[in-house]
Amino acid sequence: MKVDGRQMRPIWLDEISQTVKVIDQRQLPHRLVIAELTTVDKVITAIQDMYVRGAPLIGATGAYGVYVAALNTRVSSNDEAFFLKECDRIKSVRPTAVNLAWAVDTVLAEVSQNETLADKTNTAKAAAARIAELEAENCRQIGVAGLELVKAVSEAKNGDTVHILTHCNAGWLACVEYGTATAPIYAAFEKGIDVHVWVDETRPLNQGARLTAWELGKHGIKHTIVTDNAGGHLMQHGMVDMVIVGTDRTTRTGDVANKIGTYLKALAARDNDIPFYVALPSSTFDWQAFDGLKDIPIEERDPNEVRYVQGDDAGSLRKVLISPPDSSAANPAFDVTPANLVTGLITERGVCRADENDILRLFPEHP
C-alpha cells in the first residue's frame, strides 16, 4: 500500500543486501522506522516485542525467519540439528496466531528436499517470498468477497455512509497487503462507496488508535477512534452498520480467536442485530481445532503492557505508568468468539457461515 506516495509493505527482502527488513510498528504512528532482521534472535525479538504483529505478517516473518536461520547456520556435522532447533525457537514465539507455525512448517517442508546448506538457504528465501505473495493475494481476494457485503449495506441505505466498526489492526500492516478486515473497506472506498470506520483503540497496545487509524488516514478513509468500551453504546444508537474484524486462529467449526475484547463486540452486535463478520485467509484456519475455548492457546503477555502506556512526548517516545506501582495486572492478549455469534467468514474463496459444513464447502481439501 502507499505511504505518502511511496509503495510499502510491512516486510520485504532488500534486493541489494538480501536482508529481511520490516517496519518497526512499535514506533508508529509517530515515526516510520525500518528494522533489519539479520539473526534469529532479531527475528524472535521482532515477533515477541511486536515490531511485526498480526497473524499473516507473523507468518510471513516466521517464513523469512527460516531463511535467516539458514543464513546463520555454519556448515558442520551438526548443521541440520542446529538449523531445525533455530526454526523451532521461531515457531514458539507467539502461540495464538496459527499462521506462524503454518508458515515455518511450509518453508521447512520445501527446504527438507535440499541436501546442501546453500540450497536450503535459497529454497527458504524463495518459499518465504511465495508465502508473502500468497498472503497479499489472499487479502486482495478477501477484499473482492467482502466488497459485496459493504455494497449491499450501502444500497440498503440508499448510498448513505456505511459505518463499520473494527477492533485491533487487521490492516495491511498486519498482513503484507490490503489487510483482512480492512480489505473490504479499501475495496469499497476504491469503488466510491461512502464508508466511515469506528476504530477501537484496542488497549493495552493500542493497535487500533496507533496503526489502524494511521493506515486509514494515509489512505484518506474517514475514521473515528473510540475507546474499547464505546462499541456497545454506538450500536445501541444505530451508529454501526456492520462489524468486521480479523482473527489469529479460527477452528474448523468457526470459533474465532482475535484480540482481547472482540468477544464483547460480538455480544453487543448480536444484542443489536448488527452483522458481525470475521475476515481471514485460509492460513488462519486451524484444521485440527474443533473447540475454540479448549483448542486455542491464548497468549498471556507482560502485565507491564497494561500498567504502562506509550506515547509521543515532544518528539520522544515515552512510557508512563498509569496504575499504582504495586498493583498487579493481567494481560490475556486474545479471546474466543464462539461461532454462533459470527454472521459470516470472509475468505479468499468467498463468504461462508461460521460452521464446519459451510467452511468445508469452500475448503473441501480439509475433510
At residue 278's C-alpha, the angle toward residues 275 and 279, to 5°, is: 130
Residue 5 grid coordinates = 506516495
**Cα distance between residue 352 and residue 354, in whole Å:** 6
Single out the segment in contact with ligand MRU by CB under 6 A; choices: 14-22, 51-59, 190-198, 213-221. 51-59
Task: Name beta bridge partners: 316.
Answer: 313
Give me the least distance between CB of 343 and ligand MRU, in Å please.
17
Rule CB under 6 A: choose which of 40, 69, 175, 235 binds ligand MRU: 175
259 binds ligand MRU (CB under 6 A): yes
Binding part of the chain for ligand MRU, among 2-10, 151-159, 170-178, 348-356 by CB under 6 A, reads: 170-178
Residues 220 to 249: which contact ligand MRU by CB under 6 A?
Answer: 246-248
Q: Does 168 bind ligand MRU (CB under 6 A)?
A: yes
Beta carbon of residue 181, minimum distance to ligand MRU (angstroms, whole number): 7
* Residue 174 makes contact with ligand MRU by CB under 6 A: yes
**Closest alpha carbon to 153 in 263, 21, 241:** 241
Choosing from 28, 170, 187, 199, the residue that interacts with ligand MRU (CB under 6 A) is: 170
Is residue 295 part of the annotated active site? The answer reads: no
The yes or no reply on residue 347 touching ligand MRU (CB under 6 A) is no
Contact 79, 73 (CB under 8 A): yes
Task: Rule CB under 6 A: say whether 333 interacts with ligand MRU.
Answer: yes
* Span of 8-16, 48-56, 107-115, 230-238 interacting with ligand MRU by CB under 6 A: 48-56
| Residue from 64, 82, 202 nearest 135 by CA | 64
Q: Which of 24, 228, 241, 248 is catalytic?
A: 248
**Within its chain, how far is the Cα of 13 from the centroid?**
20
CB atoms within 10 A of CB 334: 25
Please choose, out of 107-115, 128-136, 174-182, 352-360, the segment that lies near ligand MRU by the rule CB under 6 A. Answer: 174-182
Cα–Cα distance measured from residue 99 to residue 93, given in angstroms and rounded to the nearest whole number: 12
Pairwise CA distance, residues 248 & 15, whole Å:
30
Grid cell for residue 38: 539479520
Report whether 62 contacts 103 (CB < 8 A): yes
Catalytic site positions: 248
Q: Name the residues that contact ligand MRU, by CB under 6 A.
A: 53-56, 97, 168, 170, 174-175, 180, 207, 246-248, 258-259, 333
